[in-house]
Structure 1
Amino acid sequence: MKKPAEFYQRDLGRHPPAYSPIYKTSVARSPQYPLISLQNSASEITGPVFGHNDIDPIDNDLILNYAQPDEMPIGERIILHGRVLDENARPIPNTLVEIWQANAGGRYRHKKDTYLAPIDPNFGGCGRTMTDEDGYYYFRTIKPGAYPWRNFVNSWRPAHIHVSVFGTGFAQRLISQIYFEGDPLIQTCPMVKSIPDPDAVDALIAKLDLNGTIPLDSIAYKFDIVLRGRRSTLFENRLEGN
């Protein structure tokens, strides 16, 4: 039987074009010249990396990691969990997964976020964890709210969580967004509509997981993250998106 390839070329038909007029900010920031691939150096491939000692036990619990004593954030409690895999479905152990998000009202804890929704004093909106030996990760958090953005007159971002996954070094990093099954705003979002492959859009949607749901507590969503490997082409032509 033929052994699967170690690395795969990026499928350009699956990824959104850098220039997409319906996503207005892509017009100004899309590359004007053909993208190039760069070979990583040995130092970029081999380190530095995070270890378990860098992670606090509640870093993956966004309900508790910013809350005041005896307080909790407002909103729908959820669990986001899944596995980090390579393209041959092999688990990726001991890799750093980070998330950041808006609160239940759709506002980020960021000085440049001027949306009129209130700041939740008990919600920081970011967390991190390491995958275990089976590539498994999980977070407990509050489901983020939708929010408006200045794309067209009535553009709204679907509820989403930003996710970052590191490889064997800081030069190897995947940044993406996770949406939620059943959200009607997914199909109206100009960012999502710039993705040409419907299967690629579906791969960005966390699926409702009633088996993982905690009764009378938290709804679970399952989201597996598939990595490409260190020879992937650069995301948005920058190392931090690889």
Structure 2
Amino acid sequence: MSVDNTLITPQTVGFGPVTRRVSEVHPPAYTPGYKTSVLRSPKNALISTAPTLSEITGPVFGENELGELDNDLILNYSKSGLPIGERMVIHGYVRDEFGNPVSGALVEAWQANAGGRYRHKKDQYLAPIDPNFGGCGRMITDSNGYYMFRTIKPGPYPWKNRHNEWRPAHIHFSINGDAWAQRLITQMYFEGDPLIDRCPIVATIPNRDQVQGLIAREDVANFIGMDSRTYRFDMTLRGRAATFFEDHIPGARR
């Protein structure tokens, strides 16, 4: 069964409104060019249900749940030295569908290393594992909805969607806002990458503005001299301007 959450208003639950996902600005769940969507796309019409109280009032995260280096992917897995690759800072703001900052949101990130390989037992790409790079981190947004982390720029990698296709360099994000109904899982790409326009996953997105919303921009004013380039990437939870929910299209079966 597939579910599409409907609008919840302050009058019905006594909390702030959570709008439904606007499915028409997202790609259809069934997109044969992206092969795995064929099996996981819903075959029947979506069923609308009202979110429960627990879905719009939690979760709550505290700073004491994070380690000192959780948002520093350069150091948080270092064993015998520093990881190999281009050093960078990623930062930005998490906002709700009305443009308000989402404070206390848990932002989790994971990625391939500079060679394009994940630290995962099922990743069999021939690029070597970097012994000093774990590829994952997490942080909590401040009162302004701001987040920041340091990392190594991930490399592109081949995948078995069709012959000789490559994924652009990207970083995965999972965001838990101030309501479970705001959960967002997405991917961030990098400005100027020619593989973006050739990616079958990106090609499923019908709205060019949505594609642009997945691309981090160079933030030259915040480069760190002789150290790191900086990229700005803002994310919006739900509503018409929502950042594309890329990893799991709403309503699609896993």
TM-score (normalised: structure 2) = 0.86
1:36–1:237 Cα contact (<8 Å) kept = no
Q: Which moved more, 1:107-116 or 1:13-22?
A: 13-22
Q: Deviations over 1:104-134 (max 9, x none)?
A: 0000000000000000000000000000011
Q: Which moved more, 1:43-52 or 1:18-27?
A: 43-52
Specify the alignment match of 1:213 in structure 2.
Answer: 223
Is 1:58 paired with 2:69? yes
Out of 25, 43, 52, the residue aligned to residue 32 of structure 1 is 43
- Root-mean-square deviation (CA, aligned residues, Å) is 2.2
Q: CA deviation at 1:29?
A: 1.3
Q: Structure 2: where are the runs of 5+ without partners?
A: 1-15
Distance in 1 (CA, whole Å) between partners of 2:174 and 2:39 is 24
Q: CA deviation at 1:16?
A: 1.1
2:40–2:252 Cα contact (<8 Å) kept = no
Q: What SS is found at the alignment partner of 2:25?
A: coil
Specify the alignment match of 1:237 in structure 2.
Answer: 251
Amino acid corresponding to residue 99 of structure 2 in structure 1: A
Amino acid corresponding to residue 159 of structure 1 in structure 2: A
Distance in 2 (CA, whole Å) between partners of 1:155 and 1:238 is 23
**How do 1:121-136 residues align onto structure 2 when only pairs under 5 Å count?**
121-136=131-146
Distance in 2 (CA, whole Å) between partners of 1:45 and 1:120 is 40
Segments ≥4 residues shifted beyond 6 Å = none
Specify the alignment match of 2:88 in structure 1.
Answer: 78
Q: What SS is found at the alignment partner of 1:207?
A: strand
Equivalenced residues, count: 233
Specify the alignment match of 1:222 in structure 2.
Answer: 232
2:117–2:129 Cα contact (<8 Å) kept = yes
Distance in 2 (CA, whole Å) between partners of 1:46 and 1:13 is 27
Q: Deviations over 1:122-169 (max 9, x none)?
A: 000000000001110001000000000001101100000000110224
Q: What SS is found at the alignment partner of 1:13?
A: helix
Specify the alignment match of 1:19 in structure 2.
Answer: 30
Q: CA deviation at 1:8?
A: 4.0
Out of 153, 161, 165, the residue aligned to residue 163 of structure 2 is 153
Amino acid corresponding to residue 99 of structure 1 in structure 2: A
Distance in 2 (CA, whole Å) between partners of 1:41 and 1:149 is 39
Q: Structure 1: where are the runs of 5+ without partners?
A: none
Q: CA deviation at 1:215?
A: 1.3
Amino acid corresponding to residue 149 of structure 1 in structure 2: W
Is 1:47 paired with 2:28? no
1:181–1:206 Cα contact (<8 Å) kept = yes
TM-score (normalised: structure 1) = 0.90
2:183–2:237 Cα contact (<8 Å) kept = no
Q: Deviations over 1:155-203 (max 9, x none)?
A: 1000000001102245641100000000000000000001000000000
Q: CA deviation at 1:42?
A: 1.9
Specify the alignment match of 1:10 in structure 2.
Answer: 21
